[in-house]
Structure 1
Amino acid sequence: MAAGFEIVAVLTRPDAPVGRKRVLTPSPVAARAAELGIDIIHASRVDTAVTERIGEIRPDVAAIVAYGGLVPRVALDIPRHGWINLHFSLLPAWRGAAPVQRAVIAGDDITGAVTFQLEEGLDTGPVIGTLTEAVGPEDTSGALLERLSHSGAVLLAQTLSAIGSGAASPLPQEGEVSLAPKLTIDDGRIDWSEPALSVGRRARGVTPEPGAWTTLDGQRLKLEPVRLRPDVTDVQPGQLALAGKSVLVGTGSHAVELTKVQPAGKKMMAAADWARGQASLESVVFQ
């Protein structure tokens, strides 16, 4: 809207139940569209009915961000400039639903975002615009996505302007392909036999969703991202130890320091507060 485009409709998910009372709530995109008086198409996928609706509207171009579903060929062909996807990776790296999360887990130093022409394949279309973003040593996937959502919005508007003026030059993707499937709960489980660097990357990559966790006495214990402690090398993998007020856990290399933990049925708390409630911390072993 700020860039001067005429937005003829917004396609977003149906209202979903939120909170303990399960109140049906529109997506943030739908709420904003309603404020602006924009026609809203509520749908979880682009089916025949949605395709017919788009055909009636006849948009010049469709901009798509994190929709989470495939768009059929018949719908792709409706806008004369096609569908332009804002994707949060440097394609062809990390094609799929969780590109930023997978980049953090893999230890990438640089990530970014691209705009590309949507095709029937999974994130395979030619790239129009690119931006890069450094991955800091303490960045979580949530922090990176927050930054990329702002810079990516600018990139998307610039791309649409270039398409409108005829200045856009889509280029085929080049380089090694890697896949970024959607994260599951199991992706958040910490394997303490892995090196500390890998443990730290996984914890940051799954924060805030689906979240890092381990098990203690058969119950799940949620974890905030950990700090690396290369100065401590004498703690066995999964074994806990105290160093002053710090709560340490051994890994396959050196120890890591817990920041916050959330026992089952309780709120997130400082690791030191949780540790004081344990009868003998040295006997505690994470699985």
Structure 2
Amino acid sequence: MRVVFAGTPEPAVPSLRRLLESGEHEVVAVVTRPDAPAGRRRTLQRSPIGALADEAGVEVLTPAKPSDPEFLDRLRTIAPDCAPVVAYGNILRPAALAIPAHGWVNLHFSLLPAWRGAAPVQAAIRAGDELTGATTFRLEEGMDTGPVFGTVTEKVADDDTAGALLERLAVSGAGLLVATLDGIADGSLTAVPQPAEGVSVAPKVTVDDARVRWSDPPLAIDRLVRSVTPAPGAWTEFRGQRVKIGPVSTTGFDDLAPGELRVEKRRVLVGTAGAPVALGTVQPAGRPAMPAVDWTRGAQPAAGERFE
């Protein structure tokens, strides 16, 4: 099939790469978010998908909105058979959805109808799910509500961060997406409506969502921190300044108050609503992340001092 691929960030790269290597499908164009400022100098930078398409010599379309008339006209001219989508980052309206002959096929990183929305991997970790996966489905106007073509499952490890889990899902999901397009092309695959039961929603994670509440139980803190690693990154405040923290580990019983710090020879403990947790890394503003013990050598927390 002739396909137009829509995607933007790094997790979409394995899918586009698999399609470019496929002998069954021809990627005739790529749709991605416009170049955006990046780095300290704020120079315009191509999205990971746009950069890969440039390397492959594929036409790159970067509409400010996918409802722009010029973009829709170009898409009609290209006349793709199908349009696979992986983390594009823009809402597709009916005018765009109607153009590909076989519609737009989205790869979503959850087992739908669980965790519809922008942050399914983060939500799965924060909820303590033991199993997650990826789903291919036909896009429609509702948020991740379209009929399902196929799924692939993935176990959630006890130490998984959102970044590590998403990296695995991006690879396994790429295989699922190509297999889905194969099935659409040869007529062997039919989309099935999602069940009405088991619906959950995973909205975009904000910076405020990533703030650690030390009055929470240690398991909840562990899941929160892992769910927002690497982005936007878990954070707390120390002496009125924001610091980011990496994944923590749970410990045995202790009597620290929520947020209270205790510096030991080889670890740094923080009190919670239950047993304290041991910090992994700490990143003060404007500095690189460092082991928690190294951070305390400079910060020198006083006895009884707390994260806020």
Superposition TM-score tier, normalisation by shorter sequence: over 0.9
Give 1:74's match in structure 2, choosing from 63, 79, 95. 95
* Paired residue secondary structure (1:114): strand
Distance of 1:259 and 1:53 partners within structure 2: 50
Alignment partner, residue 155 of structure 1 = 176
Give 1:224's match in structure 2, choosing from 235, 246, 250. 246
Alignment partner, residue 2 of structure 1 = 21
CA contact (8 A) 1:188 1:202 kept: yes
Deviations 1:208-251 (A, max 9, x none): 1100000112211110111111x133111111113431100011
Distance of 2:86 and 2:40 partners within structure 1: 29
Q: Residue type matched to 2:50 in 1?
A: A
* Paired residue secondary structure (1:192): coil
Alignment of structure 1 residues 250-261 onto 2, 5 Å? 250-261=271-282
Q: Does 1:92 align with 2:113?
A: yes
Alignment partner, residue 80 of structure 2 = 59
Distance of 1:56 and 1:109 partners within structure 2: 45
CA contact (8 A) 1:102 1:180 kept: yes
Per the TM alignment, residue 21 of structure 1 is displaced from its structure 2 partner at its CA by 2.1
CA contact (8 A) 1:275 1:281 kept: no
Deviations 1:10-69 (A, max 9, x none): 001111222222222211211111122211101243123222211111100000110122
Give 2:255's match in structure 1, choosing from 195, 210, 234. 234
Q: What is the RMSD computed on CA atoms of the aligned residues?
A: 1.2
Q: Does 1:209 align with 2:228?
A: no
Distance of 2:190 and 2:119 partners within structure 1: 27
Per the TM alignment, residue 280 of structure 1 is displaced from its structure 2 partner at its CA by 4.2
Give 2:45's match in structure 1, choosing from 25, 29, 47. 25
CA contact (8 A) 2:261 2:301 kept: no
CA contact (8 A) 1:12 1:41 kept: yes
Distance of 2:39 and 2:300 partners within structure 1: 35
Give me the identity figure in percent.
52
Alignment partner, residue 142 of structure 2 = 121
* Paired residue secondary structure (2:107): strand
Distance of 1:282 and 1:75 partners within structure 2: 61
Distance of 2:300 and 2:172 partners within structure 1: 49
Q: Residue type matched to 1:103 in 2?
A: A
Q: Does 1:165 align with 2:225?
A: no
Distance of 1:241 and 1:267 partners within structure 2: 22
Distance of 1:60 and 1:125 partners within structure 2: 18
Distance of 2:88 and 2:175 partners within structure 1: 18
Q: Residue type matched to 2:44 in 1?
A: L
Q: Does 1:14 align with 2:34?
A: yes
Alignment partner, residue 83 of structure 1 = 104
CA contact (8 A) 1:12 1:44 kept: no
With 123-132 and 1-10 compared, the bigger mean Cα shift is at 1-10
Alignment partner, residue 35 of structure 1 = 55
Kindly tell me: are residues 252 and 12 of structure 1, through their superposed partners in 2, closer, same or farther at Cα, counting changes over 3 Å? same
CA contact (8 A) 2:213 2:221 kept: yes
Alignment partner, residue 188 of structure 1 = 210
Distance of 1:32 and 1:278 partners within structure 2: 43
Which consecutive residues of structure 1, in runs of 5 or more, have no partner in the other structure?
A: none
Per the TM alignment, residue 286 of structure 1 is displaced from its structure 2 partner at its CA by 1.0
Q: Residue type matched to 1:111 in 2?
A: T
CA contact (8 A) 1:9 1:39 kept: yes
With 29-38 and 117-126 compared, the bigger mean Cα shift is at 29-38
4+ aligned runs moved over 6 Å, structure 1 = none
* Paired residue secondary structure (1:234): coil
With 264-273 and 100-109 compared, the bigger mean Cα shift is at 264-273
Distance of 1:114 and 1:44 partners within structure 2: 27
Distance of 1:55 and 1:70 partners within structure 2: 18
Q: Residue type matched to 1:228 in 2?
A: T
TM-score by structure 1 length? 0.96
Distance of 1:244 and 1:219 partners within structure 2: 25
TM-score by structure 2 length? 0.90
